[in-house]
Amino acid sequence: MATKNKLFLGLFIHSKALNELEYLHDTAVGVDKEGKITIVERDCDEKKARETVLPRLGWKDAEVEVVKAKEGQFFFPGFIDTHIHAPQYPNAGIFGNSTLLDWLDTYTFPLEASLSDLAKARRVYTRVIHKTLSHGTTCAAYYATIDVPATNLLADLCYARGQRALIGRVCMNEPYTSPTNYRDESAEASLAATRASIAHIRTLDPTHTLIQPIITPRFAPSCTFPLLVQLGALAAETALPIQTHISENRAEIALVKTLFPRAVTGAADDSYAGVYDAAGLLTGRTVLAHAVHLTAGEAALVARRGAKVSHCPGSNTALGSGAARVRRLLDRGIVCGLGTDVSGGFSPSVLEAARAAVMVSRHVVFMGEAAPAGGVGEDREREKLSVEEALFLATRGGAEVVGLEERVGRFAVGMEWDAQLVGLGVVGEDGDAVGDEDGGDVDVFGWETWPDRVAKWVYNGDDRNTKMVWVKGRLVHARK
Amino acid sequence: MATKNKLFLGLFIHSKALNELEYLHDTAVGVDKEGKITIVERDCDEKKARETVLPRLGWKDAEVEVVKAKEGQFFFPGFIDTHIHAPQYPNAGIFGNSTLLDWLDTYTFPLEASLSDLAKARRVYTRVIHKTLSHGTTCAAYYATIDVPATNLLADLCYARGQRALIGRVCMNEPYTSPTNYRDESAEASLAATRASIAHIRTLDPTHTLIQPIITPRFAPSCTFPLLVQLGALAAETALPIQTHISENRAEIALVKTLFPRAVTGAADDSYAGVYDAAGLLTGRTVLAHAVHLTAGEAALVARRGAKVSHCPGSNTALGSGAARVRRLLDRGIVCGLGTDVSGGFSPSVLEAARAAVMVSRHVVFMGEAAPAGGVGEDREREKLSVEEALFLATRGGAEVVGLEERVGRFAVGMEWDAQLVGLGVVGEDGDAVGDEDGGDVDVFGWETWPDRVAKWVYNGDDRNTKMVWVKGRLVHARK
C-alpha cells in the first residue's frame, strides 16, 4: 500500500511493559514500501540518518519520504478498538437512562435493521471509518449487521480507506430475543450468510494484509444453542477469530441462565462462560466484550482457554452495566484491550476509552469501600489503572486481543507501521496559544516532564491532537 | 458593556425544571445595551421581529445588532462553574494515582505558591479565562491563591475579558497542613489580606455587575478555628458569599475530626459540617464543594442552613475521593451546581462535568448494588441523573449556588444575557462533514429529535460546538 520507503524522525513513545512507557528521543524509524519497520535507530538526527541509516538499508536518498515530528510532537502506536459496532454510530450519545436489554430493543435493533439500505450503510460506515481514523484508531474489531451486502460493504470501505479491521457479520437467530424484521431465519441461514461474508473478505484481501473476517455470534441470548455450536465448529474449521459479548449486565446474565440450562448445553455448569465453552467458542482467538460480572470460576475458565477480554468502560458506565474489575482479570493473566463499544459507549475515541478505563478503575475502589467483604481485598488502591496501563491496553493489549501482537502495537523491527503523530497545544508567554493549529484542550506550558505531557494528552486530548495517522505505512489521515 | 441593543433569533433551549428542557423554536430575544433581556417573543422570525418587536421596544431598526442561529444551531444559557481553582490550571491532567492530601502537597501547593510571580500568574490566568470562556463558562467561582496581588490580577483579567466571576483569595494559616512557604502568617494576616482583596474588587466593580469577592477558607484543615470564626464574622459583616470544601475524602474527614475536637469548636458534634456551622460559615450564601461523604445528619444541617453544594464529579473520580450521591442531596432540597474543580478535575469544561455527573450517578447505582444495606434504597435507578438534570445543574442550579439565580441561568425578561450559541456537526449524504466548520465529535445525521441532538452534544460535544459566547450582552468569545 505504501509507495515509498519512509523515514520517521523524532520522539517515539510506546509501551515497554504494562505499566511502563518507553521514550525514544531523537530516534529514526525506517519503514519500507510494504509498511514494515526495518530499522529503529536511537540517537539519530536527519543528517546522521541520511549518512548512515539509508546506506545501510540500501535506500536512495531521493526516494525516501522523510516525516519529522516537530518539537513537542511524538509518534505513538495506532490505537486498537477491540469492540465497536459500526452500524450503531449514528446513535452515539442516544441511550437515555436505558440498560442493555431495553436499549437493544429501543435504540439498537431498529437502527441496525435499517442499514440493509446500502446507501444508508455507505453513509454511516464512511463516517465511522473517517471518525475512528481521525482519533488514531488504526485497527478496529467491527460488528456489522446481519445483512451480508452491508457487511461486505463495510469490509470494502475499510480496505479502500486503509483501516485495518476485523469484520464480523452478526449472527442472531433466537426468536425470543431478536425482532422479527432483524434476525437470521435459522441457524443454517445464519451460518450460510456468515460463510458468504467470509468468502467476500477472502476475495477482497486473500492474505489478510488489512482485513480479516471474524465469526460473530452477537451474544448468547441472541443465538440458539445449535447456532452457537455450528459457529464454534466454523471457527475450528477456519481458524478464524471469534467475537461476542459476555456478562455485561445482570439481567442479561439471568436471561442466559434461563435460555441455556445445562440440559441443553451439556456444560459442567450453567455459567455464561460455560455456555460459550460448551459450544466451542471459548478459544485463544476469542474476543469477549465486557466481562463485567464474571464469577471467579468463569474468569478461571476464560484464562484457561486463553480467551481475551475487550474492556469497554465508557459503555459499561453509560448503560449502567457495572464496573469491570480489570485488575483482577490482568492478575489472572487474561489479556485485555479497550473497546469504545459504540454506541453503548458514546465516544468513538480509544483515547477516551483509556481515560474512562482509568476513571472506572477508581470507581471499582469505591465499590470495594462500599462492600468491604466483596472480595476486592485489602489493597484496594491496586485496582487503579495508571495512564501507562490504560495506554498499554489501548495499543499492545488490544493488539494481542485481536491476535495481531506480532504485527502492530509497538515500534520494533519487523512490526508494521500503524502509528499516529501526536501534537499538543502550547501556551505562549502571553497566555495565548502558540501557532495556528487547534491544540484542543491540551495546554502545555513548557515545564512539564514527558510523562506529564502524556498524562495531559490522555486526560484532555482529542482528535485535534492526532495530526497524522498511518496504517501499514500508508498515510490514512492528516488533520487539515 | 454591550454597546448596542441586540436581537437574537432562532431556537433557544434552557431548563424549565430540574428534569425538563424547554425548546423555544422560532423565537426572538431582545437584549438591551445593559445586557438585560427585554423581550422573549415566540413564533417570531426576523421579519416579524423587525415589524412588531422592535417598535414595541422603541429600538430603531438600524441600531439593532441581529444574531441569528443557523439551522441546527441553538442558544443555550452560559455554563456556571461553581468550583474552579484558576492557579491550578497548568496541572490539569497531572495527578497520577494520588489522593487529596498527598495531591495537595505534591502537585498543588508548589504550583499555587509559584503564582506570586505576577508574570506567571498573568500567563496562567489569561489562559484559564480564555479556555473556560471557549467552553461556554460565562460565570466561574474561582479560588485564586493566598497572594493578594495575584488574586487581584485574576479579578482584573476577568473584568477586562468580560467573564462573570466570584474571586476568592485563599485563606490558609494552619502550620500543620500548610507549607511554610505557602501559608498566611496568622489569622489576623489572613483576614487583612482577604479584606485587601475585597477592597480591590469593590473598587474595580463597585456594584458587582460582573465581579464579586467571595470569602474563601481553603478548607477546614487548612485553617485554625479562630480564623474560621473570623471569616464567618467577616461574611456576616459584609454579606458576601463564602466558598470552601467539605467532606471530599475520607482521610480529610478523619483529619478534621482530629484538628477540630468539640472542645475547640464548641459544636454539638464533631462532624465536618458542624465545624463550619460553629464558625458561622454555613449560610445561605455558602458554596460547599464536593460533599461526597456527608452523613445524613450533616446533609440535614446543610439543608437547614440553606448552604449550596458544588458537585465536582470529574475531580471526585480522578482523585479517588468517592462518588457523591447527588440525588440524595437534591431530595433533601439542597441546591446543587457543577464544578470542574480544575485541577483535581482534569477538564476545564462544564459540559464535561455534566457528562461526568451523569456517569458518576450510574456508579452510585453500582455502589448500591455492592452494598445493598448501604442505604441507597430499593429504587436504585433513581440515583441516575439524566441529561436534562445535568444541564439544569450546569446552568440554573449553578446560578442558584452562586446566588445569581435572579440574573442568569435561563432566558426570561429581566434576566441578563449570559449565553452561548451551540452548533453541532452535520453528516452529509456521502458520509463527509457538511461545511468547513469543525463540528468535533458530534455528528448529526438529520433524523434525530431535538432531545437526541442535545444528548449528542452533552456526550460528545466540546468547545468546537460553542460558536459564540456572551456575558451580560457582550460578545466575549467567538470561535475562529
Residue range B156-166, pLDDT digits in tens: 999 999 999 99
Q: Which residue has the higher pLDDT, A139 or B380?
A: A139
B375 conformational bin, left if phi > 0, alpha if psi -120 to 50, beta if neither: left
A278: confidence class by pLDDT, cuts 50, 70, 90: very high
Chain B residue numbers with beta carbons less than 8 Å from the beta carbon of A430 are: 123, 126
Q: What is the 3-state secondary structure (H, E, C) of chain B?
A: CCCCEEEEEEEEEEEEECCEEEEEEEEEEEECCCCEEEEEECCCCHHHHHHHHHHHHCCCHHHEEEEECCCCCEEEECEEEEEEEHHHHHHCCCCCCCCHHHHHHHHHHHHHHHCCCHHHHHHHHHHHHHHHHHCCEEEEEEECCCCHHHHHHHHHHHHHHCCEEEEECEECCCCCCCCCCCCCCCHHHHHHHHHHHHHHHHHHCCCCCCEEECEEECEHHHCCHHHHHHHHHHHHHHCCCEEEEECCCHHHHHHHHHHCCHHHHCCCCCCHHHHHHHCCCCCCCEEEEECCCCCHHHHHHHHHHCCEEEECHHHHHHCCCCCCCHHHHHHCCCCEEECCCECCECCCCHHHHHHHHHHHHHHHHHHHHHCHHHCCCCCHHHHCCCHHHHHHHHHHHHHHHCCCCCCCCCCCCCCECCEEEECCEEECCCCCECCCCCCCCCEECCCCCHHHHHHHHHHHCCHHHEEEEEECCEEEEECC
| Nearest chain B Cα distance for residue A93, angstroms | 5
Mean pLDDT over B400-423 rounds to 98
Interchain contact B183–A (C-beta under 8 A): no
Q: For residue range B221-268, what is the model confidence (pLDDT) as tens digits?
A: 999 999 999 999 999 999 999 999 999 999 999 999 999 999 999 988
Percent of the residues in chain B that have a pLDDT greater than 90, as a whole number? 94
pLDDT, tens digit, for every residue of A196-222? 999 999 999 999 999 999 999 999 999
Out of A20-29, A390-399, A429-438, B231-240, least confident range: A429-438
pLDDT at A371: 64
Digit-coded pLDDT (tens) for A351-399? 999 999 999 999 999 988 776 544 444 578 899 999 999 999 999 999 9
| B2: pLDDT strictly greater than 80 | no
pLDDT per position as a tens digit, B381-391: 899 999 999 99
Nearest CA in chain B to A128: B431
The verdict on A21 touching B (C-beta cutoff 8 Å) is: no
pLDDT at position B269, please? 83
In this complex, the residue of B124, B323, B458 whose CB is nearest that of residue A363 is B323
CA dist A427 and A453 (Å) reads 13
The answer to whether residue A254 neighbours chain B at the CB level (below 8 Å) is no
What pLDDT score was predicted for residue A377? 47
pLDDT computed for residue A374 by the predictor: 44
User: pLDDT at residue B376 above 60?
Assistant: no
For helices B118-134 and B148-161, angle between their N-to-C axes, nearest 10 degrees: 40
- B379 touches A at CB < 8 Å: no
Distance from CA of B219 to the nearest CA of A (A): 23
CB contact under 8 A, B96 and A455: yes
C-alpha B267: how far from its chain's center? 30
CA-nearest residue to A440 within chain B is: B463
Ranges for all domains in chain B classified under CATH 2.30.40.10 = 6-77+410-478
| Mean pLDDT of the region B182-193 | 98
Instruction: Give chain B's mean pLDDT.
Output: 96
Span A15-36, average pLDDT = 98
> What are the residues facing A21 on neighbouring strands?
A15
Q: Which residue of chain B is at minimal alpha-carbon distance from A319?
A: B362
CB contact under 8 A, B366 and A92: no
**What would the mean pLDDT of A83-112 be, rounded to a whole number?**
96
Question: Is the predicted pLDDT of residue A1 greater than 60, yes or no?
Answer: no
Class of B6-77+410-478 per CATH? Answer: mainly beta
- Listed in order, the ranges of chain B carrying CATH 3.20.20.140 are 79-402
For cell 536518498, name the residue.
A61
Is residue B311 a contact partner of residue B294, using CB atoms and an 8 Å limit? no
The CA distance from A49 to the nearest CA of chain B, in Å, is 35
Whether residue B128 is predicted with pLDDT greater than 90 in this model: the reply is yes
User: Quick check: B359 and A317 CB within 8 A?
Assistant: yes
User: Hey, are the CB atoms on B459 and A370 less than 8 Å from each other?
Assistant: no
Asked if A345 and A317 count as a contact pair (C-beta separation under 8 A), the reply is no
ipTM score: 0.97
Query: Do B322 and B69 form a contact (C-beta atoms < 8 A)?
Result: no
**Closest to A460 (Cβ–Cβ): which among B93, B387, B430?**
B93
Burial (CB < 10 A; 0-12, 13-18, 19+), residue B237, is exposed
Q: Is the pLDDT of residue B91 over 90?
A: yes
Interface test with B, best of A19, A102, A249, A317 (most B CBs within 10 A): A317
Task: Please tell me the distance in Å from A358's CA to the nearest CA on chain B.
Answer: 8
Pairing of strands B466-471, B474-478: antiparallel
Nearest CB to A362: which of B92, B317, B452? Answer: B317
- 8 Å CB contact of B363 and A427: no
* Shortest Cα–Cα distance, A197 to chain B (Å): 23
Looking at the partner chain, which of B123, B346, B371 has a beta carbon nearest the beta carbon of A430? B123
Higher-confidence position of B368 and B197: B197
Kindly report, residue by residue over B284-336, the tens digit of the pLDDT.
999 999 999 999 999 999 999 999 999 999 999 999 999 999 999 999 999 99
Q: Is A65 on the interface with B (CB under 8 A)?
A: no
Q: Distance (Å, rounded) from C-alpha B208 to C-alpha A178?
A: 61
* Closest residue on chain A to B128 (Cα): A431
- pLDDT of the residue at A372: 52
Task: Return d(Cα B28, Cα B238) in angstroms, integer.
Answer: 40
- List the single residue in A127, A347, A441 with the smallest CB-CB distance to B427: A127
Q: Report the residue of chain B nearest A457, measured CA to CA.
A: B93
The arrangement of secondary structure in A79-402, i.e. its CATH architecture, is Alpha-Beta Barrel (3.20)
Q: Residue A172: is its pLDDT beyond 50? A: yes
Residues of A with CB below 8 A from B455's CB? 93-96
Average confidence score pLDDT of chain A: 96
Across A296-327, b (16+ Cβ under 10 Å) vs e yields eebbebbbebebbbbbbbbbbbbbbbbbbbbb
